[in-house]
A and B are shown apart, each in its own frame.
Chain A
Amino acid sequence: MAVSLQKGGNVSLSKEAPGLAAITVGLGWDTRATDGTDFDLDASVFMLGEDGKVLSDDSFIFYNNKKSSCGNVEHLGDNKTGAGDGDDEQVSVNLAGLAETAKKLVFSVTIHDAEARKQNFGQVSNAYIRLVNSADGKEIARYDLSEDASVETAMLFGEIYRHNAEWKFKAVGQGFAGGLGPMAASMGVNLG
């Protein structure tokens, strides 16, 4: 399938991946080879309602809230260094099980503590975020963070949204200033 997406491009998941029931967001990067503070990238998912805000605070699935209350969105574990092959962080989404009120899922990647550590994606080797069909492991979309989001510290990767009776994916690929906190606030998460 290997769909190549331009920023802002849309793809109908029902057409490109018929029967798509579950997806996995994969985030990968290399451990730091040079001296200095580790690169700690974080994948997060926001489950939004009609109003573009999170359905509730636990619809913000990230390293401190690994599972939505409905159980359909699950963060499989925080990796703080990038150690290991392949995806270093994954969030799995059971699209088929989502409540009707969940209209859109937004996928993001952020560098933990980027400002204090003075880090950006370009300083990280082989950082990427991708969307995979959980059933067959095929990539639906991929974004090379090291290369194409080099000076960013946080990025909205893409979103899956309901369109009529089907799910569509939109590649957003847009940097976000301020990191995960302001991003969560913009999605309506009540920050403690």
Chain B
Amino acid sequence: MSVTQLVAGANCPVPSEKLQVEVTLSPAQISGAEVDISAFALTGSGKVRGDDDMVFYGQPRPGNGSVAFLANSAGRAEFSVDIPKLLASTEKIAFTATIHENRKTFGAFTSLQVTVKNAAGQAVLVATLPATGMVESALILGELYLRQGQWKFRAVGQGFAGGLKPLAEHFGVDISDAPAPAAAPPPPAPSPAKKPISLSKVTLDKGKPRVSLEKKSEGFGEIRINLNWNRETAPAAKSGGLLGGLFGGGNKGMDLDVGCLYEQRDGTISAIQALGNRFGSFRSDPFIELKGDDRTGAISEGEWLHINGQQWQTFKRVLVYAFIYEGAPNWAKTDGVVTIYVPNEPPLEIRMTEGGNSLGMCAVVLLENINGTLQVNREVRYFKGHQEMDQAYRWGLNWRAGSK
């Protein structure tokens, strides 16, 4: 019998019998990322009814055993799902993977795979989810679901950057109220200083231009800053006029670069950017590194600047900017967005929306060390070039033209 290959979003029917669902990670193990595979039995509303609907390492065979672990080892888990034995109100079973304590994202893996086998042990379908570039630390890999009397499987591959907590809440599980340790999926390890994991992405805009992240004794970890934009795909933007807005070829081939100016406590000032080959270093001074272009996945596309948050005390301020290396400035059609990922914080998003259409440089966000806190200020101020921006922020560098 042929095996159906599914990409994210795709679905196919499965037989209504005792199935085996196998989840595998590639590579099987990543140092520092402990992955828990779980299953949630859900009603038509997509929620669990109670503790017996959660199958995880601490509870491998809950309830009547219709959904249970057959095997569970690093990088591989296998469930049995006895469809005829499911509770009548079960309409969906979601299979998930979470990285313990959000220590890494699934981007550290190459791919995740779900194989569904029939009662005879033959593979019915294989869903392959490329993981490179994923920013999520909790994923819904796929789901068995009932539709018009037929059980089907859908490859999902979507999840949450905030880890287990938002994932569990998505299924109606309230982790904080879980009475006993065994009654809920593995909760994020309690650490006294840790704030509750935030549930959503934060957008800094005109109404809310600033956010301040509390000082942490261990620093802020790896602060990852992503610049992403709409390249040449049509439709590009919706703000333009008839057709012109839809097929805005204006940003075709436009190359946007990310960079930053930094000022250290000791008064050192400099810049990190590809232009002039100033890539910096994450592990050693200046503790800021410009990563090469990463265009492997939808989320990771764009350019990355990493700041070593453990060294945050050495910084006074960092101004992150985007500039148009090639192509005519047209910010409105560029849909440029800078997203800042600080471990254990919701991603901060700053959009380069309005204005500046004749100017090639945009100061996007200013990170300031205010008594050890990390204050993130939305700027979105446009300038003709480096020199003008430098002057406006009184940085004090000397600028001259260069090329990559």
Contacts and interface: CB of A to CB of B under 8 A. Distances in A.
Interface of A: 32-37, 57-58, 62-65, 78, 80, 112-113, 115-124, 147, 150-151, 179-181, 184, 189-192
Contacts of A57: 242-243
B243 A190 contact: yes
- Give chain B's interface residue range (CB within 8 Å of chain A): 35 or more
Interface of B: 7-11, 135-136, 140, 147, 154-162, 166, 170, 201, 230-231, 233-236, 238, 240-247, 297-299, 301, 347
Closest 8 CB pairs of A and B: A122-B9, A118-B298, A34-B158, A192-B243, A181-B234, A123-B9, A192-B244, A120-B9
A171 to B, nearest CB: 18
A180 B170 contact: no
A112 B136 CA distance: 23
A58 B234 CA distance: 19
Contacts of A117: 298
B159 A34 contact: yes
Q: Is the interface of A mostly helix, strand, loop or mixed?
A: loop
A65 B243 CA distance: 8
Given A147-B147, A180-B246, A35 B136 contact: yes
Nearest to B247: A191
5 contacts: A36-B299, A58-B242, A65-B243, A116-B301, A191-B246
A122 B7 CA distance: 10
A118 B297 contact: yes
A189 B243 contact: yes
A181 B160 contact: no
Given A151-B9, A192-B247, A35 B201 contact: yes
A179 B246 CA distance: 11
A91 B147 CA distance: 29
Nearest to B162: A35
A122 B161 contact: no
